[in-house]
């Protein structure tokens, strides 16, 4: 199985600057603005988990992490409104999706940080426990997982003789998914990858949060946005906000 590699931010900036010189005018496509000030112009051909693949007019497609992106302007967007990767106003739904009877569900996190800590005996189940401590965010629409991202980092190691405590500080990322217009039932899950096998090794309890969204309707070209917060260890949702396709709130 191949491993995805992303260039460091500095190296990516240099690469994008070179591309901007070599490709002054591309065929119509998306305009992707990055947080470092760089701009990519090309066609968004794939979104897989937290990775976007963009095809430029020359060279191989480039992969960009969602957390590197400031905004995306689609070539067929109504009013060319950018789709923000940061919290705030909802994005415009591309005209092609409006015509196809699609809308968007946007999830924005007010409280973004979660911590998980597990104790490991260096001679027992090391790899399995490290994996179980990874933090998974999933969004399920009508029984199908449409968004999934895993935080695999170990941010702090505390040495306790024969044992070690591994801490994972995750930052929840906003996301959006395209859905067919109509009524939907959704579920947001934020959990440790395996909260059960090594439950007694977690300090405190492993993360295992579920938030159900009751039946709601998304119209063609509409954006339903859910603002999520943490409240006493549980996920809470404020009232859903409905936006028109141009990004304006109804």
Residues 115 and 67 in one domain: no
Would the pLDDT of 87 be above 50? no
Question: Mean pLDDT of all residues in the chain?
Answer: 74
Which whole-number Å values give the CA distances from 213 to 188, 197, 205, 210, 226, in the listed order?
Answer: 8, 28, 25, 10, 9
Element (H, E) at 11: helix 9-22
The per-residue pLDDT for 81 is: 39
The per-residue pLDDT for 57 is: 59
How do residues 183-219 score in pLDDT, each as one tens digit?
999 999 999 999 999 999 998 899 998 988 888 888 8
Residues 63 and 131 in one domain: no
Give the residue, 20 or 120, on which the prediction is more confident: 120
Domain with residue 66: its CATH number is 2.30.30.100
Q: Which of the given ranges, 8-22, 42-56, 82-96, 182-196, has the highest pLDDT on average?
A: 182-196
For residue 207, which of 111, 118, 110, 109 has the smallest C-alpha distance? 118
pTM over 0.75: no
Q: What is the mean pLDDT of residues 100-122?
A: 85
Residues 34 and 132 in one domain: no
Residues 68 and 114 in one domain: no
Tell whether omega for the bond before 204 is within 30 degrees of 0, i.e. cis: yes
The per-residue pLDDT for 29 is: 63
Q: Quick one: 163 exposed, middle or buried, by C-beta within 10 A (0-12, 13-18, 19+)?
A: middle
Would the pLDDT of 25 be above 50? no
Residues 128 and 209 in one domain: yes
- Confidence band for 92, pLDDT divided at 50, 70 and 90: low
The per-residue pLDDT for 200 is: 93
Least confident of 34-48, 84-98, 198-212: 84-98
The per-residue pLDDT for 76 is: 42
What is the span of the domain harbouring residue 13? 9-75
The per-residue pLDDT for 119 is: 93
Which of 53, 75, 97 marks a domain boundary?
Answer: 75
Would the pLDDT of 134 be above 60? yes
Residues 118 and 237 in one domain: yes
């Amino acid at each position: 199985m191949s491993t995805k590699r992303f260039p460091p931010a500095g190296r990516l900036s240099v690469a994008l600057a070179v591309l901007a010189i070599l490709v002054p005018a591309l065929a119509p496509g998306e305009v992707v603005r990055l947080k470092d000030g760089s701009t990519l112009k090309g066609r968004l051909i794939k979104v897989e988990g937290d990775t976007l693949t963009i095809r430029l007019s020359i060279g191989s497609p480039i992969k960009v992490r969602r957390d590197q992106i400031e905004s995306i302007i689609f070539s067929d967007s109504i009013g060319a409104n950018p789709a923000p990767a940061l919290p705030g106003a909802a994005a415009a739904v591309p005209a092609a999706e409006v015509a196809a009877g699609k809308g968007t569900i946007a999830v924005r996190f007010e409280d973004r940080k979660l911590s998980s800590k597990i104790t490991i005996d260096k001679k027992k189940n090391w790899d399995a426990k490290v994996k179980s401590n990874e933090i998974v965010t999933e969004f399920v629409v009508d029984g199908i997982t449409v968004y999934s991202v895993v935080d695999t980092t170990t941010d702090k190691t505390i040495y306790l003789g024969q044992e070690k405590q591994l801490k994972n500080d995750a930052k929840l990322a906003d996301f959006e998914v395209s859905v067919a217009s109509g009524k939907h039932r959704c579920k947001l899950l934020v959990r440790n990858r395996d909260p059960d096998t090594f439950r007694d090794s977690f300090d405190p309890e492993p993360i295992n949060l579920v938030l159900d969204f009751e039946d709601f309707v998304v119209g063609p070209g509409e954006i339903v946005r859910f603002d999520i917060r943490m409240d006493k260890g549980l996920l809470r949702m404020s009232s859903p906000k409905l936006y028109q396709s141009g990004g304006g709130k109804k």
